[in-house]
Chain A
Amino acid sequence: MDIFIEKDSKNICLAYEGKVSGLLQKLKVNPETVIVVRGGELIADDDLVSDKDSIRLMSVISGG
């Protein structure tokens, strides 16, 4: 799975299949701080993601 972490402008590859909530736990990312986008669409915590997916973690927090 390709994951782009917007806050760090970083791309990572990770083997994972399961719920979005599990993915965030594995990445140690607080769900309060991101929304998860796949193919330009917002996906919910309960949605399933697979190794074929390209995911974008968009930071909720911005500003100063």
Chain B
Amino acid sequence: MKCGICSEKAVYKRYCSKHFKDYFENKVKVTIKRFGLLKKKDNVAVAVSGGKDSMALLHVLHKLGYRITAVAVDEGIAGYRDKTLKTMTSYCKSEDIGYRIVSFKDNFGKTLDEIMDKEKIRPCSVCGVFRRYLLNLHTRKFDVIATGHNLDDEAQAILMNLVKSNMSLLFRLGPVSGYHNNESFTKRIKPFYLCPEKEVMIYSFLNKLNTEFSECPNVGLSFRLRIRDRLNEIELKMPGTKRNLVDWFLRIKEKLPGDLGSPDTCRICGEPSTKERCNACNYISELKLGGN
């Protein structure tokens, strides 16, 4: 099949390599404009893991001329995170993009592997809480944090929270997530909000970014995996399902009164929290870790 725009060979739907990249970058620009995600003068922290989504995000935002710094969280998951971080640092050095790496070990005294070794808990819960905590703590001076969450991620998160009836978590989702108008909370944005994961992968591949398969060794224990697989099965039979789910969610969210308000402050660490003691401090205490 030929590209619908030129006479080159199509590599995906009716797009050749060049016109697919144009289409993808344009979709990101439209998403940024539609949801008011970024201004050109913004100082942007790009949350980077070294995987295909965050590398694609780094590349697109760099190409579109935004002021970016890559920020990575090193949980210390052996055989996984060390490899992906090398990809990030290598790219940043070659493109002259500033970067910083913040680690569980430096901040909590142990890697996630060391924590998991002793405790019988779901790694994803601890990992997620600590990652978000560190990301917020170390990006205070930035205007926004851009994450590589894509359409698939959002559709999965919507379904996960619906299934668990987690309404407060559900309505924190969106292209701009978390709490607004709070100095201690850095606004988070998702420029890939409307981009299917497959398109992100294709973009990464065509730009020769890292597309090597890497999956967290703890992923088999996650609820998200089950939702992800079911959603992909449905999408195959009913194309457009993921996009419809996200569009539905955006319409519902519009009808909610006001915003989420301002979070309280954890009385231990001073970070934003909906409770007197934040989840990170709870885990630090429960797991007897360093930090606070």
Residues of A within 8 A of B (CB): 6-7, 30-33, 35, 37, 41-44, 46-47, 58-64
- Whether, in the assembled complex, B198 has its beta carbon less than 8 Å from a beta carbon of chain A, the answer is yes
Within 8 Å CB of A7, what residues of B?
213, 215
Q: Is the CB–CB distance between A64 and B1 below 8 Å? A: no
Within 8 Å CB of A59, what residues of B?
213, 215
User: Digit string of B1-31 for contact with A (CB within 8 Å is 1, else 0)?
Assistant: 1000000001111000100000000000000
Closest B residue, CB atoms, query A47: B1
Given contacts A30-B233, A35-B201, 19 further A-B contacts (CB under 8 A): A7-B215, A30-B232, A32-B232, A42-B206, A43-B11, A44-B11, A44-B13, A46-B1, A58-B211, A58-B213, A61-B197, A61-B215, A61-B228, A62-B52, A63-B49, A63-B214, A63-B219, A64-B124, A64-B127
List B residues 190-209 near A (Cβ within 8 Å).
197-198, 201-202, 205-206
- Whether, in the assembled complex, B121 has its beta carbon less than 8 Å from a beta carbon of chain A, the answer is no
Minimum C-beta distance from B202 to chain A (A): 6
A62/B215 contact (C-beta < 8 A), A42-B205, A42-B206, A44-B12 known: yes
Within 8 Å CB of A47, what residues of B?
1
Q: List 12 A-B contacts (CB under 8 A).
A: A31-B236, A32-B198, A33-B232, A35-B202, A42-B11, A42-B202, A44-B12, A44-B13, A62-B215, A63-B215, A63-B219, A64-B124
A49 to B58: give the CA distance in the assembly, Å: 34
A64 to B221: give the CA distance in the assembly, Å: 10
Q: Is the CB–CB distance between B213 and A62 below 8 Å? A: yes
Closest B residue, CB atoms, query A41: B11
Minimum C-beta distance from A20 to chain B (A): 11
Within 8 Å CB of B10, what residues of A?
44, 46
Closest A residue, CB atoms, query B219: A64
Per a CB cutoff under 8 Å, which of A6, A43, A46, A63 touches B53?
A: A63
A46 to B15: give the CA distance in the assembly, Å: 12
A37 to B201: give the CA distance in the assembly, Å: 12
Within 8 Å CB of B216, what residues of A?
63-64
A44 to B287: give the CA distance in the assembly, Å: 49
Within 8 Å CB of B233, what residues of A?
30
Closest A residue, CB atoms, query B53: A63
Within 8 Å CB of B168, what residues of A?
none
Per a CB cutoff under 8 Å, which of A32, A37, A60, A62 touches B236?
A: A32
Q: Is the CB–CB distance between B51 and A60 below 8 Å? A: no
Per a CB cutoff under 8 Å, which of B80, B201, B206, B222 touches A60?
A: B201
Within 8 Å CB of B247, what residues of A?
none
Closest B residue, CB atoms, query A31: B236
- Whether, in the assembled complex, B218 has its beta carbon less than 8 Å from a beta carbon of chain A, the answer is yes
Minimum C-beta distance from B209 to chain A (A): 12
